[in-house]
């Protein structure tokens, strides 16, 4: 990588009024420039000391340095490093010492922070750690958002949103600056009135009860943060990440499609499936023979005031070997986390997945062969990942989506004040979330891959 990138590995030891350090937090941050002279963090009240070291990659090499400083008050404090090298370090903590936040951040190096509620002013993302001088096309961002948009076909929610992206920062003359990239999509078709009853009654299998139980407050209208509108930020960020992938490793293909809806199963060859086939139908299945059957199923279930789920399959082709960290940040573990963070997901499997449990080792092992001078496997039950690291074969995984929680049928539930009652859904909803979830699965896979590609570039 040209230029200078810094990775800060810092640990925060916090002690209050002479007590021993009550927590240690380690964070990894990339600063895209050596010129940012300060290290910030919000450490809460008490006395704090920070020790950190910089690992540099690229050129020139950055000497080992230690920040120094103490914080005696709430808020953002400045800690200077001995060498005046630094990064933005965001670590809100409470008196308990627990680094509290509503976990809206994903990624280690290519790091995204999503924001916004379904019926608030807007939703979006701040991307931190995007390398400088990457060409970014607003049209490509908009294209991906259009694929995720509500109201795009007769089988998805009729909410009318253009989901127009505004790039607020971090991009100049079509190139990334290396500074945070903020992308905003304003909400325009809010109808909070449809949620009046649901503000007092918990929707079965939605996030209403658990948000209340956790925070004691929630944005009831449209599901607030639990709404799939939150995923707009992810899709926009992934469209930028895609351009980072294209810059550093052109040729990586990430394609997802609807594999099944209930028991209706699509026959798709992950080696040959194309984006054109998937986008040629409104269900986004990869099997043209199943399109009409799947559409009919979704329409029938919607007409009955009910909902259905299914499975999305995803393939990553031309992924280089070596991506993924071998212990806790295994590529498959990060993919699983990414996928299970998508609303309405209930399962993840990679390669042979759960079906692999039926095979013996002799049947299951992927034999190695040298093919065209490369280490290859003759089968791919590993799904392209071994020991948490990509092996160069296609990465293939599947994600299970439950039937949409909000249905237009009366169901038993309770009120926020603890009485048994009934509730029938109102407002505009997807009877099946899968067609719109396809670009979200691709987006999360893109974010994981980009993060690991940049991490790998720090090593070799």
Ligand X SMILES: Cc1cc2nc3c(=O)[nH]c(=O)nc-3n(C[C@H](O)[C@H](O)[C@H](O)COP(=O)(O)O)c2cc1C
Residues making contact with ligand X (CB under 6 A): 157, 206-207, 223, 226-228, 342-344, 404-406, 429-430, 433, 436-437, 440
187-216 core/surface letters (b: 16 or more CB in 10 A; e: else): beebeeebbebbeebbbbbbbbbebeeeee
- Of the CA atoms within 13 Å of residue 20, those in its CB half-sphere come to 0
CA angle 377, 379, 382 (to 5 degrees): 85
Contact 348, 400 (CB under 8 A): yes
Query: How many whole angstroms separate alpha carbon 113 and alpha carbon 16?
Result: 29
Give just the sign of the alpha carbon dihedral 132, 136, 138, 140.
negative
Cβ closer to ligand X: 97 or 150? Answer: 150
| CB 309 to ligand X: min, Å | 10
| CB 296 to ligand X: min, Å | 20
SS3 category, 244: helix
Query: How many whole angstroms separate alpha carbon 21 and alpha carbon 32?
Result: 31
| CB 347 to ligand X: min, Å | 12
Cβ closer to ligand X: 264 or 405? Answer: 405
Contact 443, 435 (CB under 8 A): no
If we measure between CA atoms, which residue out of 187, 188, 199, 193 comes closest to residue 223? 199
| CB 430 to ligand X: min, Å | 4
- CA dist list (Å): 252 to 243, 247, 312, 334: 11, 11, 19, 18
Cβ closer to ligand X: 43 or 116? Answer: 116
Query: Kind of pairing, strands 385-386 and 389-390?
Result: antiparallel
| CB 138 to ligand X: min, Å | 23
| CB 227 to ligand X: min, Å | 6
Cβ closer to ligand X: 93 or 404? Answer: 404
Cβ closer to ligand X: 198 or 273? Answer: 198
Query: How many whole angstroms separate alpha carbon 442 and alpha carbon 275?
Result: 11
Cβ closer to ligand X: 130 or 437? Answer: 437
| CB 342 to ligand X: min, Å | 5
| CB 247 to ligand X: min, Å | 29
Query: How many whole angstroms separate alpha carbon 218 and alpha carbon 210?
Result: 10
Cβ closer to ligand X: 157 or 382? Answer: 157
**For helices 434-459 and 231-248, what crossing angle results, to 10°?**
40
Cβ closer to ligand X: 43 or 224? Answer: 224
């Amino acid at each position: 990588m040209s230029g200078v990138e810094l990775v800060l590995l810092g640990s925060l030891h916090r002690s209050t009024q002479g007590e021993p350090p009550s927590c240690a937090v380690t964070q990894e941050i990339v600063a895209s420039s050596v010129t940012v002279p300060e290290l910030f963090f919000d450490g809460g009240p008490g006395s704090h000391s920070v020790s950190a070291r910089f690992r540099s990659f690229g050129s020139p090499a950055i000497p080992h340095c230690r920040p120094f400083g103490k914080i005696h008050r709430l808020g953002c404090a400045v800690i200077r490093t001995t060498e005046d090298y630094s990064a933005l370090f965001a670590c809100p903590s409470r008196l308990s010492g627990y680094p509290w936040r509503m976990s809206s951040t994903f990624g280690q190096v290519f790091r995204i922070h999503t924001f916004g509620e379904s019926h608030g002013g807007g939703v979006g993302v701040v991307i931190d750690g995007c390398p400088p001088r990457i060409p970014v096309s607003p049209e490509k961002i908009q294209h991906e958002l259009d694929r995720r948009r509500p109201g795009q076909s007769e089988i998805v929610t009729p909410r009318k949103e253009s989901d127009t992206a505004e790039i607020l920062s971090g991009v100049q003359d079509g190139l990334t600056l290396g500074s945070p990239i903020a992308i905003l999509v304003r909400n325009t078709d809010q109808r909070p009135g449809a949620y009046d009853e649901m503000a007092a009654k918990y929707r079965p299998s939605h996030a209403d009860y658990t948000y209340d139980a956790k925070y004691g407050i929630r944005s009831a209208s449209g599901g607030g943060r639990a709404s799939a509108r939150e995923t707009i930020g992810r899709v926009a960020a992934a469209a930028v990440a895609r351009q980072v992938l294209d810059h550093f490793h052109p040729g990586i293909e990430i394609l997802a499609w609807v594999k099944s809806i209930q028991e209706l199963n699509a026959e798709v060859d992950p080696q040959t499936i194309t984006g054109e086939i998937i986008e040629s139908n409104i269900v986004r299945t990869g099997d043209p023979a199943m399109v009409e059957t799947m559409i009919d199923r979704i329409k029938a279930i919607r007409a009955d005031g009910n909902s259905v789920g299914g499975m999305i399959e995803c393939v990553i082709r031309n992924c280089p070997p070596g991506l993924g960290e071998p212990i806790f940040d295994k590529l498959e573990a990060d993919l699983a986390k990414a996928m299970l963070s998508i609303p309405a997901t209930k399962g993840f499997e990679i390669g042979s997945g759960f079906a692999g449990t039926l095979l013996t080792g002799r049947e299951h092992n992927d034999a190695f062969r040298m093919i065209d001078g490369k280490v290859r496997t003759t089968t791919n039950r590993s799904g392209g990942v071994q020991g948490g690291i990509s092996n160069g074969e296609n990465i293939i995984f599947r994600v299970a989506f439950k039937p949409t929680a909000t249905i237009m049928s009366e169901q038993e539930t309770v009120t926020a004040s603890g009485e048994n009652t009934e509730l029938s859904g109102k407002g505009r909803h997807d009877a099946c979330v899968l067609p719109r979830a396809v670009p979200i699965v691709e987006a999360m896979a893109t974010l994981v891959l980009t993060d690991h590609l940049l991490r790998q570039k720090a090593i070799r």
